[in-house]
């Protein structure tokens, strides 16, 4: 059984989580000034589960991700969070250090005498094996995000947190990145929590989609589709319509056709 960090709003002791769970969030509240962004949120993510988190701007989805990552020190809140010790993050920008070459960025902070060997293998996985000696500015936006994915997975995390990692990419590059992320997920099998505003991205990548609205979950939807998904599949479109309805993005006369929350 893995050992988990048990964090309260002011830190907390080490505890052990149930073996089947990668993340447990209980009674989480977060506020900015007088505005309560998360309202007594409970969440469990299974080991190896790919979950996408959707919500309108201001719904609290990035606040929840930062809380799980332990990066919300400026907010006020209560509740408890249990996460694995090995957690990696991917952001909208690659956050590569410009003064380090790509391989050095990937292995930064990675322990072990074989760190550079593991870093090269990670770059090979994202088709950047030939760019290990390049500087970040020499890579395209898509290549930089691929390097960021390599950096996030080289430590074999139990939990991967991704905050709109493809939001700044063009449409064709995003499609390629979706395929790459799904392939890497199938190979490494971390639990994934992906924050996105893109419904199609959520249905394409995730096996479970949560919709957050006004600080609480309004939908928990299982995506019962194969790993290689066709947007033209009627079930894909049905899931898409359900999620758009939960987000309030459908005309009133179409919301009656959406699925019931699970």
Whether 54 shows a pLDDT value over 90: the answer reads yes
More confident residue, 262 or 51: 51
Q: What local confidence, expressed as pLDDT, does residue 207 receive?
A: 95
Q: Is 25 helix (H, G, I), strand (E, B) or coil?
A: strand
Q: What local confidence, expressed as pLDDT, does residue 254 receive?
A: 54
Q: What local confidence, expressed as pLDDT, does residue 14 receive?
A: 32
Of 85, 27, 36, nearest to 60 (Cα)? 36
pLDDT in tens, 207-259: 999 999 988 999 999 999 988 899 999 999 999 999 999 998 877 655 445 55
- The mean pLDDT value of the chain amounts to 87
Q: Distances from the Cα of 66 to the Cαs of 75, 230, 259, in angstroms? A: 10, 32, 30
Report the DSSP beta bridge partners of residue 29.
78
Distance CA 72, CA 85 (A): 17
Structural element, H or E, at residue 118: helix 115-125
pLDDT in tens, 88-104: 999 988 999 999 999 99
More confident residue, 85 or 262: 85
Tokens encoding 230: 């066709």
Q: What local confidence, expressed as pLDDT, does residue 71 receive?
A: 86
């Amino acid at each position: 059984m893995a050992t988990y960090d048990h964090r309260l709003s002011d830190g907390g002791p080490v505890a052990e989580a149930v073996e089947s769970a990668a993340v447990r969030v209980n009674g989480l509240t977060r506020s900015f000034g007088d505005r309560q962004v998360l309202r007594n949120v409970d969440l469990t993510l299974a080991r190896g589960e790919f979950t996408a988190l959707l919500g309108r701007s201001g719904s609290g989805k990035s606040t929840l991700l930062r809380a799980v990552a332990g990066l919300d020190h400026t907010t006020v809140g209560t509740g408890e969070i249990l996460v694995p010790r090995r957690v990696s993050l991917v952001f909208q920008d690659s956050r590569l250090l410009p003064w380090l070459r790509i391989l050095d960025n990937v292995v930064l902070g990675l322990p072990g005498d074989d760190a550079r060997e593991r870093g090269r293998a990670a770059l090979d996985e994202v088709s950047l094996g030939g760019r290990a000696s390049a500087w970040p500015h020499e890579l395209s936006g898509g290549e930089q995000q691929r390097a960021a994915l390599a950096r996030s997975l080289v430590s074999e995390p139990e939990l991967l947190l991704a905050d709109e990692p493809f939001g700044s990419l063009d449409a064709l590059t995003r499609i390629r990145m979706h395929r790459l992320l799904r392939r890497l997920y199938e190979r490494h099998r971390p639990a994934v929590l992906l924050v996105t505003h893109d419904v199609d991205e959520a249905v394409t990548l995730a096996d479970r989609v949560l919709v957050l609205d006004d600080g609480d979950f309004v939908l928990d939807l299982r995506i019962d589709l194969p790993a290689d998904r066709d947007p033209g599949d009627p079930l894909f479109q049905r899931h898409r319509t359900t999620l758009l309805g939960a987000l309030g993005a459908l005309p009133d006369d179409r919301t009656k056709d959406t699925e019931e929350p699970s």
